[in-house]
Structure 1
Amino acid sequence: MIPTLNSERLLLRAPAMHDWPDYSELMQSERAVHMGGPFSTAAAWGMFCQDVAQWALMDHGALMMEDRKSGACVGQVGINHGPLFPERELGWLVYPQAEGKGYAFEAAKTLRDWAFKIQGFETLVSYIDSDNTRSIRLAERLGAILDDDAPRPHEDDLVFRHPKP
């Protein structure tokens, strides 16, 4: 079961087909550079499907961030794992029109707290491109601490470890 989580302004819900166009546009744009992109349509589709499939395989995955007031999807937050990630990773992406409004912080905090309290996770990390200063600041705002000794999917990634609340 994919949960629906609520925060002050957001509904965190399962991805749906109507989310695909905005997700695809972001992943194929230069804005995806800090996530290893831009990606082809096929690669973006595989990532979108992986975000959903992880729920069935690992009891965690991605949730779309929906503004409860407007109903607009403003981005995605998720917990990634499996063969591509050495540890469970808390990640986020925000669509351009929603950037700078605190949505990523609100969504990441909500999903992080769910992971620790409901799923019983002992730790989460965020893998962040060293040039992605906005995500680095967000990880630090969430209380994550740089962990230079942690394994990482790409040697240039920084690893921020989220403490259990």
Structure 2
Amino acid sequence: MAVDISSFGPRLETERLILRVPVEADIEHLIPVMADEQTAEFIGGVQTSPHVWRGLAGIIGHWAIRGYGFFSVEDKTTGEWLGRVGPWYPYGWPQEEIGWTVKREAWGKGIASEAAERCLAFVFEDLAWDSVIHLIDENNRGSQGVARKIGSRNLGKPVEVAGFGVMADQWGQTKADWLARQR
């Protein structure tokens, strides 16, 4: 019996997007994303369907444990599932993060930055975070561009990504930085 988890968190909106709590049915969209070599390159690599399901279960569990997590991102007009973006703080992480994974067909359309910008407002206003990071591989130019677009900068503190055995640069900003950009 499936449990309705939509009450686990808020539904956020932007001009073009709906950000909602993920559900098990999102697996049909997430499997092809995690099977795409280019999309999965900097987030652990290509995964089998059972591994993708376990990852989705972890994301949904993160909502239950922390009270926040990755949102499923949908096009407001068409309902098309575009990716996952949101606050994230798994065990072993250096601090709270906003991360993003958008399916390749949606790259270059501002989806990740629009959703991440909305998530910044959520974590600073609703979750009362003082700062946020984004763990980004030094070769991931696309995610570096998203980070810059939302006002984050490379903090010069490479760290090992817990559970992945890879190093990533820490990008981020403070709530004060974010508030200054809102003025």
Fold conserved between structures, TM > 0.5:
yes
Q: Report percent identity of matched pairs.
A: 27
Determine if contact 2:159/2:169 at 8 Å carries over to the other structure: no
Determine if contact 1:28/1:44 at 8 Å carries over to the other structure: no
Which runs of 5 or more residues in structure 2 are unaligned? 1-7, 179-183
Residue 16 of structure 1 and its aligned partner are, at CA, apart by 2.1
State the SS of the aligned residue for 1:108. Answer: helix
Give the counterpart letter for 1:42 in structure 2. P
Q: CA RMSD in A?
A: 1.5
Determine if contact 1:152/1:159 at 8 Å carries over to the other structure: no
The residue that corresponds to 1:16 in the other structure is: 23
Give the counterpart letter for 1:163 in structure 2. T
Which runs of 5 or more residues in structure 1 are unaligned? none
Distance 2:77 2:160 in 1: 37
The residue that corresponds to 2:46 in the other structure is: 38
Determine if contact 1:142/1:162 at 8 Å carries over to the other structure: no
Residue 100 of structure 1 and its aligned partner are, at CA, apart by 1.2
Residue 150 of structure 1 and its aligned partner are, at CA, apart by 6.1
Distance 2:29 2:70 in 1: 15
Residue 113 of structure 1 and its aligned partner are, at CA, apart by 0.9
Residue 148 of structure 1 and its aligned partner are, at CA, apart by 1.8
Distance 2:28 2:166 in 1: 31
Distance 1:25 1:35 in 2: 14
Determine if contact 1:146/1:161 at 8 Å carries over to the other structure: yes
- Larger radius of gyration between Structure 1 and Structure 2: 2
The residue that corresponds to 1:156 in the other structure is: 167
Matched, 1:27 2:38: no
The residue that corresponds to 2:131 in the other structure is: 123
Determine if contact 2:159/2:168 at 8 Å carries over to the other structure: no
Q: TM-score, normalised by structure 1?
A: 0.93
Q: TM-score, normalised by structure 2?
A: 0.84
- The 4+ residue runs of structure 1 with deviation greater than 6 A are none
